[in-house]
Structure 1
């Protein structure tokens, strides 16, 4: 759902004394936000609902199924639980909502930070009660069970069978294999009675392609006190265990495991701790499809001496009003850990150790919900009575893997969160220019963006890597001996985009190659079976669905397109050669004093998002201490306004700070900067194509593996590029540049400087 926030409004600030009454926290009785807004309208279902007079809803099945063969039909008696009939608001109400959200982010407006409740949101901007009643009556007439209507009046939760779906929506549910995983999905676009077409967008949950976690599979490592490094334990049987590692860096002496102290030091968080800002009083919810052992969080807090900050932990299964569509994903295995879940919980705490962490987890299985547990957890929180200040969602998949109704449901959910004042952070993805290939290689698909994050009402967080290893400057930025907090970082460290492929320009140069393309061609000689071909990198790209919001147009470097582009910002996610990771404490591998026992090392943009959520919690606490609302809504409009001051606008001359704030300048050069502008290397990764069955657009092919992985036969290998005929810095998908880029967005931040600039932006002393 596009949002058009006026640029001018974003740079207006009022005097604090004048605006004091404006900043009062919104409550259930506060109607300031909707005062003067008249969205009264007549019912739009004006005709008798006739099941014989139908209309087809375009793009209501997965677009990738046009090139995917079915492996069989789904039995008619197969349960399809907790699907969502996604409703469509009128143009009047859509325009009014966009205008309100703009005012909620405008410091000069009386509606600035006047957030809505779910009930207020539904009453003013949902679908009329009469139209909802008509849709419910039709669903019931088709044999479905209507479980309930959400307070937002934009979703009807209902259950049935595959046979009822076939009869009511005129589509067959089939089995498919997608990315080597079995799924079910509707084979064609659905049809509904024409009388409902003005109020129904479609059905979310006709397929079970869910957003996936964005982390690197964890590695078991043992600390070597003599070398002050971790030694990764290799599996006893690995596919490529007998093949020499051809990556540019060989870490025979061990690898680096970062801890909370390190990231707080690198990103200027420790200065906020010194001023008393630790996230106290702020609630961060991490939305998940798996649960964790609560003792893991306690172990993490204890290991890294975070207990004195007073943070809390709770694990919940948020429910919709009046019905149950969320159960504990690990109810059958109470001792089981979800790695994604504990990564999010522990590392949001690592940055905001005083915050209240809520793990909101819902099971993915068809027995409880069909659209996916992460969506269910998030939408239930947003429509609930106890809403968080911040949400982190470290999940995703490409828009090419998302049907139109599901994408609309996601965007509607995040717009509601924004209007309620919830700051939402979403991981950009872990596979370069297409986020759907985490852990594999881009093939059969081109440039794409994370469908879960391209809403203009959320802030998308990409991934970076520290540049010190490839530049040979580690001794300058890291101590050789761990301190009592197990940390080693000495200051901010220059960053590059996280990119583990031979497309990493800095890695290529460190090996003496002029270009990544030359490096990749040489690399292939030492990897005849393609074991080290990878697309593992922070993701970025343009949306093919959502339009570019006005606030994203205002900064130097912004892509001159009409698309919502991601990421917005970035933080550490991983490293070339897998040298630098973060440590997590798990039930299987608990943290012990001195790391006497093995631990898990992990990374990915699933780390970046909860860390930025932690930074937002620190900012929220600081503003609340000034008498302002603790909730800030979507952070992106403010971030871009601040970046425009530092990098310059989309047109005109650029200020000296554009060059000064380059991450390459290190801690002294960027000491006064809000953003670290990352201008070296990019997220261009490898991609593959196997003709005739797999055709991969947006890939420049430079070679062939004769028998891919010793099994699949000939496969072409390339680098992601917007041109199939040439590979240049302008066609790479994608390189960094001064200002904003698809590789890392606005770059990373100094949290202390960000807080100072944020206060100045809204004219708070």
Structure 2
């Protein structure tokens, strides 16, 4: 290289140039120390540094995909003050294509019992040395960052992310973008106003900056309801709902066209144990002992709630344990804040309660760790400039810990891929790939709003979307990595089928449960897009059901997108293991969910019991209790099932850590259901969820084949309102309350077609079907049969 071009440059620029010519002159102190090499058969990731040109600060290149398109639709944008400090942002580094390909090769081998690399898990340091960015490249990047006045807090052991802090002015100087406060949908957010730019010489190793916008993954649970137990009926009386049912129904409509029960069923741990074959594993001594499950959250719970839950349901005899931690970064100042310290008050956060109590409900002897990093106070105000959210930081710090990493991680948070910049998506996917390579099994909830997880508790609409043509279809960006298992939501079919007496006893048993065994399941869907509900009410199509519903509900009080989520990724390609099973979607996308468990019910008829500080549980439910649900329930329950599997494997001399569960789940499902080439097996019919306990006792999976997650979607009728794609409109509502006032909208049902001209089971988004489906994935599982099949699979 001609160093003459460095004349007149700063000494630091000259040092970078000299260091690239003479690597010994670059002190790679920012990069974690190289780990001892791990022997991986057939995996070679040795490579030279990729920053080979002179780092000229004046010559910059744009890094595409680093601006959130949503911000472009803002009604107004105001620049932030130059002195505002943004702490603990993450510079996302980009490993080479060679190393990315090698990582995927290793991942496949780590899950292949016939491979010499089977279950050869890595440490964070080994992962960084083998698959991260070269130390010399990291040194060049951090030298440039410091020259811009940015504070480098830590380089993570994975060598793919750098924690840093800077002011708005420093970020603008370094990355050529302005931080602005923008308003969209009546809410104020923060974001960079353009794609970032970096020195051209560094662009090969920089993917972007995570945290320049404040979009955060949101918890995926149903708003809890307070209820009182009626010992005579064995049901819970729900507290009065703020919304009132329509006073009259149209002529000819079943009076329960929209169900609003005053009584509901509250499932307890004994019910879930009976429904999913957990009881037999527990009777054999498999309770999760020796396994650590980390649930990731952004706010605390009261410690005593766990003890109350375990004692109430007679699970304390298994001697499980529970701790709450604020996982620290591997080095440098902390980027994980304790919510109790931030707010100076004791939290009892609904999401954390659900995650902790119901992972323990399934694996009562496991060590449950609530890994919590704050991102907002009780009023929703940001408590940190970690705009990407505490859920990511807690997960990243767990995965990069030098010791005491968990066996299993459960994450019940998410948002659609349409609400995330590509740099942040890459950081999330890289984190989960690292967790998988380390042997950590990660379970992510699919979402709670049907074909787009952005609208938990709301209505799928374009009000918070980006771009000229928002879509009603997306997938959870936190879960579309090929290195996690995504858990969707089911409903028990007995209420709509009028078969409750066959599957539930009227009065509770000593553990307060009523389930007699496995109960037929349908996809969880609380909207009029629920085909099973439509049929139960006497309609031959959901379109007619919805049209009739909105005739006597013209204000759209009961329009909803509340349902288990599923859909195709627009970013991640379909992994090879997802192609194994019968009826796998014939697309090129990573499709979710992978499996599903109970999450909620049509008509809000069935929930699970949660013990809280305000409403503690008692042995006879003498006081009011909290009822909850959502795919935030399903994910930690499946994490609990994985803990039982792990304990059984460890007892048989196998590796307790299993990495991503999905490759094994699909391999087992292919045996039970058949493959795209072999066609369906006889077991596919026998293992249909509709059979209940009749013939499914030996099945690993319960195949959910009725119903859908197609829900309501809507767009405004004003001339300037965005046009929503993937929505088949069925009615006009003249006075829909958006929260910003009443104005007319079109309301419809989500469709697989971008411009739907008709609506059927083939076009709705999305219908359950034999084999795999967007509605329920592979279906639910019998935990005992799953553990036995998993043990047999690893004998290869």
* Bigger radius of gyration: 2
Common topology (TM > 0.5): yes
| Alpha-carbon contact 1:222-1:230 (below 8 Å) kept | yes
Corresponding residue for residue 398 of structure 2: 381
Corresponding residue for residue 14 of structure 1: none
3-state SS, counterpart of residue 175 of structure 1? strand
Seen in structure 2, the aligned counterparts of structure 1 residues 32 and 78 have a Cα distance that, compared at 3 Å, is closer
Distance 1:345 1:252 in 2: 28
| Alpha-carbon contact 1:248-1:577 (below 8 Å) kept | no
Seen in structure 2, the aligned counterparts of structure 1 residues 30 and 313 have a Cα distance that, compared at 3 Å, is farther
- Segment of structure 1 superposing worse, 128-137 or 251-260: 251-260
Corresponding residue for residue 397 of structure 1: 415
1:611 aligns with 2:650: no
Seen in structure 2, the aligned counterparts of structure 1 residues 700 and 531 have a Cα distance that, compared at 3 Å, is same
3-state SS, counterpart of residue 220 of structure 1? strand
Distance 1:312 1:247 in 2: 45
Map Cα deviations across residues 596-632 of structure 1 (whole Å, 9 max, x no partner).
1111100100000000000000000000001111100
1:675 aligns with 2:701: yes
Seen in structure 2, the aligned counterparts of structure 1 residues 242 and 555 have a Cα distance that, compared at 3 Å, is closer
Corresponding residue for residue 744 of structure 1: 776
| Alpha-carbon contact 2:246-2:553 (below 8 Å) kept | no
Counterpart mapping for 1:183-222 below 5 A: 183-222=189-228
Corresponding residue for residue 719 of structure 1: 749
Shift of 1:189: 1.0
1:729 pairs, out of 751, 754, 761, with 761
1:325 aligns with 2:356: no
| Alpha-carbon contact 2:325-2:372 (below 8 Å) kept | yes
Shift of 1:48: 2.0
Distance 1:423 1:412 in 2: 15
| Alpha-carbon contact 2:727-2:748 (below 8 Å) kept | yes
Distance 2:558 2:262 in 1: 21
3-state SS, counterpart of residue 607 of structure 2? strand
Shift of 1:145: 0.7
Counterpart mapping for 1:96-107 below 5 A: 96-107=102-113
Seen in structure 2, the aligned counterparts of structure 1 residues 223 and 166 have a Cα distance that, compared at 3 Å, is same
Corresponding residue for residue 703 of structure 1: 731
| Alpha-carbon contact 1:735-1:743 (below 8 Å) kept | yes
- Segment of structure 1 superposing worse, 30-39 or 40-49: 30-39
Shift of 1:282: 0.2
3-state SS, counterpart of residue 387 of structure 1? coil
Q: Which runs of 5+ in 2 are unaligned?
A: 1-33, 250-254, 376-381, 463-469
Shift of 1:94: 1.4
- Segment of structure 1 superposing worse, 426-435 or 158-167: 158-167
Distance 1:366 1:532 in 2: 34
Distance 1:564 1:180 in 2: 33
Distance 1:207 1:386 in 2: 32
Corresponding residue for residue 482 of structure 1: 508
Counterpart mapping for 1:19-58 below 5 A: 33-34=39-40, 37-58=43-64
Distance 2:736 2:775 in 1: 28
Shift of 1:243: 5.4
1:442 aligns with 2:470: no
Distance 2:54 2:503 in 1: 71
| Alpha-carbon contact 2:234-2:508 (below 8 Å) kept | yes
Shift of 1:42: 1.6
Distance 2:176 2:385 in 1: 24
Counterpart mapping for 1:260-409 below 5 A: 260-323=269-332, 324-331=334-341, 332-364=343-375, 365=382, 367=384, 369-384=386-401, 385-409=403-427
- Segment of structure 1 superposing worse, 537-546 or 753-762: 753-762
- Segment of structure 1 superposing worse, 305-314 or 493-502: 305-314
Distance 1:353 1:752 in 2: 16
Distance 1:358 1:178 in 2: 37
Seen in structure 2, the aligned counterparts of structure 1 residues 304 and 333 have a Cα distance that, compared at 3 Å, is farther
Shift of 1:73: 2.2
1:559 pairs, out of 585, 589, 601, with 585
Seen in structure 2, the aligned counterparts of structure 1 residues 349 and 180 have a Cα distance that, compared at 3 Å, is farther
Q: How many pairs are equivalent? A: 735
| Alpha-carbon contact 2:707-2:768 (below 8 Å) kept | yes
Corresponding residue for residue 424 of structure 1: 442
Distance 2:642 2:792 in 1: 16
Seen in structure 2, the aligned counterparts of structure 1 residues 54 and 32 have a Cα distance that, compared at 3 Å, is closer
Corresponding residue for residue 99 of structure 2: 93
Distance 1:283 1:676 in 2: 27
Seen in structure 2, the aligned counterparts of structure 1 residues 173 and 29 have a Cα distance that, compared at 3 Å, is closer
Distance 1:252 1:239 in 2: 13
1:470 aligns with 2:500: no
Q: Which runs of 5+ in 1 are unaligned?
A: 1-27
Seen in structure 2, the aligned counterparts of structure 1 residues 36 and 747 have a Cα distance that, compared at 3 Å, is closer
2:529 pairs, out of 475, 495, 503, with 503
Distance 2:349 2:605 in 1: 24
Shift of 1:402: 0.5
| Alpha-carbon contact 2:527-2:561 (below 8 Å) kept | yes
Distance 1:30 1:244 in 2: 73
- Segment of structure 1 superposing worse, 546-555 or 439-448: 439-448
Shift of 1:63: 2.3
Shift of 1:431: 0.3
1:654 pairs, out of 672, 680, 690, with 680
| Alpha-carbon contact 2:35-2:129 (below 8 Å) kept | no
| Alpha-carbon contact 2:449-2:565 (below 8 Å) kept | yes
| Alpha-carbon contact 1:443-1:694 (below 8 Å) kept | no
Shift of 1:34: 3.3
3-state SS, counterpart of residue 538 of structure 1? coil
| Alpha-carbon contact 1:327-1:363 (below 8 Å) kept | yes
Map Cα deviations across residues 298-347 of structure 1 (whole Å, 9 max, x no partner).
11111111011111101001111222111111223442211101110000
Distance 2:433 2:751 in 1: 32
| Alpha-carbon contact 1:247-1:577 (below 8 Å) kept | no
TM-score, normalised relative to structure 1 = 0.94
2:263 pairs, out of 251, 254, 263, with 254
| Alpha-carbon contact 1:443-1:695 (below 8 Å) kept | no
- Superposed CA RMSD in Å reads 1.7
Shift of 1:291: 1.1
Map Cα deviations across residues 366-422 of structure 1 (whole Å, 9 max, x no partner).
536332100000000000021000000000000000000000000000000000000
Map Cα deviations across residues 537-584 of structure 1 (whole Å, 9 max, x no partner).
000000000000000011111110000000000000000000000011
Corresponding residue for residue 595 of structure 2: 569
